[in-house]
Amino acid sequence: MSDQHIPTDGRLVRLYDHFKREWQIYVLLLPMIIWFTVFLYKPMYGLQIAFKDYSIFKGIADSPWIGFEHFQTLFGSDQFMRALRNTFMISMLSLCFGFPMPIILALMFNEITNQVFKRTAQTIVYLPHFISTVIIAGIVITAFSPTAGIVNAVLEWFGIEPIYFLIKPEWFRPIFIGSGIWQEAGFSSIVFLAAIAGVNPSLYESAVVDGASRWQMMWKITLPSILPTIIIMLIIRIGNLLEVGFELIIVLYQPATYETADVINTFIYRQGVQGAQYDMAAAAGLFNAVVAFVLVMTANTISKRYSRTSLW
Amino acid sequence: MANMNLYSRGDKLFVYINMALIALFTLSTLYPFIYITAVSFSDGSAASAGTVVYKPVATTISAYKYVLSEPLFWTSYVNTFIYTFGGTFVSLLIIIPGAYALSRPQLIGRRFFNLFVAFTMWFNAGLIPFFLNMRDLGLMDSYFGLIIAFACNAFNIILLRNFFEAIPESFEEAARMDGANEFQVLWKVFIPLSKPAIATIILFCMVARWNGFFWAMIVLKDEQKIPLQVYLRQVIATLKDDEEFGLQVLNFSYSVETVTAAIMVCSIIPVLIFYPFIQKYFNKGIMLGGVKE
């Protein structure tokens, strides 16, 4: 196409000139756009199988529509409702126990004046964040083993009968949440430490002049100063409430503990990937995604209103 | 520490208690690593009987001998390196140019493309459609499939785009005067100026690849292609119901516990080697991640 055929009036010309001049930017943009289209947007098209009687042979497009049948089945199924309850329970429990820990740690780290001690301790508590889920699971299984594990060895020392922790439904959540805290509390404290570093030093100086103790300064200056960060992190957590670390659950749980351990994502994995019930599992996933979307959007709106900082 | 004497008695007590609690927390973070290492160097029967506390009992390296003689251990170890370095390289090839393009004010549809990327943080199709998509694309059971399918995510792109956007225009002006095109500006101006942000992304990508097991477990059927974590998971699965394996090795100086522990130690070692180098990027990375879009 030669230049003469381009209409000489208005927008098209400018557009043509723009692409002629700036084509390189679009070349740089293209791989990313293709990747997002192929790997994230194309599966959204595939989500329609949640409303279809999907058959591998007919493919996504040609499988017959069946409306909300899968959703009706799901909400009538004990297993799915149990997974829903467990997801909610596990995330609420990890919110209650896991969320305050990094804040407490950051406040405590801030009070340490010995820099060598502080840096060493920080280096160590950040480390578990970089350790694979499978290794965490391996450590848990070894440590809580009824015969070989250190936990039962200690219990025996106190004259308590060994407990086979990993097949006891009542022990699954404490172990799961505990290992989550062990892995992430240290690393999550970085955000709060950064917030503490931003507190105006003159606040402390005048407090010292007034004869405030360190305990008082922590409560009356440091904590209120990092409150906005705490609120934002809390909102992010609530927005991601459904994101339970299901990879750890997959390695740790077994049929004996499904009762308390099976969450939506592990349910989807079993039904879909292992059981090949793709359509039903996709429906469960869609429900999960929609609830998550509503939670994130709500969280962002609240954050915008109260802290005037939107999360994105 | 010089002003320590200025502290009141209550303050001193507070400081000591605080230090003691931090020391306790640090030790309890460290303990599982010590425990696992001790188990890995212990005699099999001692480990199975639960007598290992913090130091090896009847020290032996037979668990390591067993692990290191397993061909699948080495294969999976090499595979993990392929996925980690290959995957991170491919990620950078997509993320850096994409983030740069999104940061350019003259890009038409910039708002749309930004939303196109960011939307995937709030909504995704989920496990099953992603899985079926990979199967339909013929990416199952291949190195390339596992690498390309997890090469990118919205978070890393937005992180880097924010960093690019914060670079003052004056930096690129000189290059433009010399007639540099977009590729040259990105390569010679933006990438050198963004080393901390790119290092952070490399850190995120590498950690995710090194530790990832779930998708590798689902996607790869061929044992010769599995990464270390999937191999470890298979060994752990035998640990969970270890009757068979336990009987099998009853007469040896290693047990399923010591073997698993040895694999775990071998898997942690590279992380420990890299750890000091990546540490300085933690704070930066976390803070960059906290920047809003």
> Percent of chain A having pLDDT more than 70?
95
CATH class assigned to A77-307 = mainly alpha
Largest CA distance in chain A: 94
Q: For the segment A187-211, what is each residue's pLDDT rounded down to a tens digit?
A: 999 889 988 988 888 999 999 888 8
- Tell whether the model's pLDDT for residue B1 goes beyond 50: no
Torsion of CA A195, A197, A203, A207, to 10 degrees: 110
Q: At what angle do helices B71-81 and B228-240 cross, to 10 degrees?
A: 140
Q: Which of A34, A93, A80 is nearest to A284 (CA)?
A: A80
Q: Which residues of B touch A108 (CB under 8 A)?
A: 18, 21-22
- What are the start-end ranges of the E strands in chain B? none
Distance spanning both ends of chain B, measured CA to CA: 41
Query: Which pLDDT score, from 0 to 100, does residue B241 have?
Result: 62
Rg of chain B (C-alpha set): 25
DSSP count for chain A of H helices, then E strands: 18, 0
Between CA A84 and CA A123 the distance in angstroms is 37
Residue of chain A minimizing CA distance to B236: A138
Query: Which pLDDT score, from 0 to 100, does residue A309 have?
Result: 54
Q: Which residues of B touch A131 (CB under 8 A)?
A: 211, 268, 271
Q: Is B7 exposed, middle or buried (0-12, 13-18, 19+ CB in 10 A)?
A: middle
Query: Which pLDDT score, from 0 to 100, does residue A305 have?
Result: 77
Between CA B203 and CA B70 the distance in angstroms is 30
Please, which residues 37-76 of chain B have a Cβ atom closer than 8 Å to chain A?
39, 47-53
Highest mean pLDDT among A206-215, A233-242, B110-119: B110-119
Name the segment(s) of chain A with CATH classification 1.10.3720.10.
77-307
Residue of chain A minimizing CA distance to B181: A24
Q: Which residue has the tokens 């192929």?
A: A38
Q: What is the mean pLDDT of residues A224-247?
A: 85
CB contact under 8 A, B186 and A28: yes
User: How many CB pairs lie under 8 A apart between chains A and B?
Assistant: 279
Q: Are A265 and B215 spatial neighbours (Cβ–Cβ below 8 Å)?
A: no
> Percent of chain A having pLDDT more than 90?
59
> Both tokens of residue A149?
């594990």
The full length of chain B comes to 293
Residue of chain A minimizing CA distance to B104: A25
With a cut of 0.85, is the ipTM above it? Answer: yes
- pLDDT-based confidence at residue B50 (cuts at 50, 70, 90): confident
Query: Which pLDDT score, from 0 to 100, does residue B286 have?
Result: 56
Output the average pLDDT for chain A. Answer: 89
- Residue A79 touches chain B, beta carbons under 8 Å: no
**pTM of this prediction?**
0.88
- Tell whether the model's pLDDT for residue B243 goes beyond 80: no
CA-to-CA separations, B12 to A28, A111, B4, B7, B22, in angstroms, rounded: 59, 11, 8, 6, 15
Domains of chain B and any CATH numbers? 2-69+234-277 (no CATH), 71-219 (1.10.3720.10)
- pLDDT-based confidence at residue A277 (cuts at 50, 70, 90): very high
Q: Are A278 and B132 spatial neighbours (Cβ–Cβ below 8 Å)?
A: yes
- Residue A102 touches chain B, beta carbons under 8 Å: no
Q: Which residues of A touch B50 (CB under 8 A)?
A: 145, 147-150, 152-153, 156
- pLDDT-based confidence at residue B2 (cuts at 50, 70, 90): very low
Residue B79 neighbours by CB distance under 10 Å: 21
Q: For the segment B204-220, what is each residue's pLDDT rounded down to a tens digit?
A: 899 899 989 999 999 99
Residue A263 neighbours by CB distance under 10 Å: 28
